[in-house]
Amino acid sequence: MTAINAPQDKYNAVWIIFFILGLGTLLPWNFFMTATMYFTSRLKDPPTPLFTNVTANSSMEGVDTRNVLESKFNNVMTLCAMVPLLIFTCLNSFIHQRIPQKLRISGSLTVILVVFLLTAVFVKVDMAPMTFFTVTMIKIICINSFGAILQGSLFGLAGMLPASYTTPIMSGQGLAGAFAAFSMICALASGSALQDSAFGYFITACVVIFLAIMSYLALPRMEFFQYYTESNRSRPSDDDEENKMDFLKNESPAEKRPVVSLMEDEAKPSVSVVNIFKQIWVMALSVCFIFTVTIGTFPAVTVEVMSTVANGGGWDKYFIPVSCFLLFNVMDWAGRSLTAVCMWPGKDSLWLPVLVALRVVFIPLFMLCNVQPRNYLPVLFSHDAWYIIFMIFFSFSNGYLASLCMCFGPKKVPPHEAETAGAIMAFFLSLGLALGAAISFAFRAMI
């Protein structure tokens, strides 16, 4: 069985399935972030009825009229998201060999679907602010815990296929953010009631997650997928098998047993997480650094930039939703998708870690934009155009370089170790997210 004889991915069906699964991994969390205004409105008494009112209240500079639950919601939400994400991604790196892949992926998607169905139902249920706050945090913990297992398992699964099949996962994740940002802009433009908009958010997420479950169930039936999964299980290679069978034919029956035992050991080689990390540590630390810089800056610093362009058409209202959230997610998606046709620099090139390290320049660039309020640093890039240019390169490099690292990581190890390598890469991705969230407070305080 060789790559030359590998079947074709008819109609790109496997590629599309991995894209949908990638969409399903980040869409839940993006929809929760998009609906932040809905959640904080439920912490008021009475709830704020319109998006426009929430926007007006949250934009009052220097005046904080929020109660304790409202003011602490975003910080607690981030904590409840990043800590379980990191812990369960780490656990998945070790337990994935003990729990069947099908159970990890389909089970995680099912739990996330149930959580979103409950969230949609709770939109219509009155709750006391503290009860609603507690229930929401429990749901966030559940989504990110099972989301971590799902993401790690999915990257491990893609590691068994050609390197280009990690790209649809990254691209699908990028689309999840763009879709959520676009939904937020539409909600702002429509002025719909918060509860109606939130209900639509969560039902839409349920539909996408259900589609992801159906897609995953169809995956094992694909001939292309079957070929590569069976190839990874059959170790040693077919050529080695043929040579050993010829060798066995020349052996006496008494001599065959030890050789058969040796073949069984080679067919199931031991997998060492430490040894795998020694082979992929450059890619692992690179993807960790990429997301540390990204999350450390976006959105903690970038969301605080104020427009300096006088415009009577309401540009101030849409500046952050469009220039920050939508632009970031669209360009991030473009960067992730580009790796489907271009994978430069190569997995062994020194240029890749160099380009990753150079992204640190975006931290001071955004700090020197018109971030308000500020106490220490001057504003050197006051015009909106500077902010937009920085955001384009910042988000595109995030998507492209992160996708390259996630594609190359599993390909730096033997095929039978690819799934474990993918899980390790997913752990370091989550570690970067957690580190970025932690240092974002320091970056904001420095301004």
DSSP characters over 374-405:
-SSS--SB-SHHHHHHHHHHHHHHHHHHHHHH
Distance CA 344, CA 355 (A): 11
**Considering the chain, what is the average pLDDT of its residues?**
79
User: Of 427, 429, 424, 399, nearest to 412 (Cα)?
Assistant: 424
- Cis status, amide bond into 236, omega within 30 of 0: yes
Which pLDDT belongs to residue 56?
Answer: 43
pLDDT tens digits for 364-411? 999 999 988 788 999 999 999 999 999 999 999 999 999 999 889 888
Q: What is the percent of the chain with per-residue pLDDT over 70, rounded to a whole number?
A: 79
Q: pLDDT band for position 118 (50/70/90)? A: very high
Contact 202, 31 (CB under 8 A): yes
Which three-class secondary structure state does DSSP give residue 193?
strand
For the segment 170-182, the average pLDDT, to the nearest whole number, is 81
Q: What is the pLDDT of residue 260?
A: 38
According to the model, what pLDDT value does residue 439 have?
86
pLDDT band at 46 (very low <50, low <70, confident <90, very high): low
How far is C-alpha 189 from the geometric centre of its chain's CA atoms?
Answer: 28
- Write down the pTM of the prediction: 0.69
pLDDT digits (tens, 9 = 90+) for 22-39: 888 888 877 777 676 677
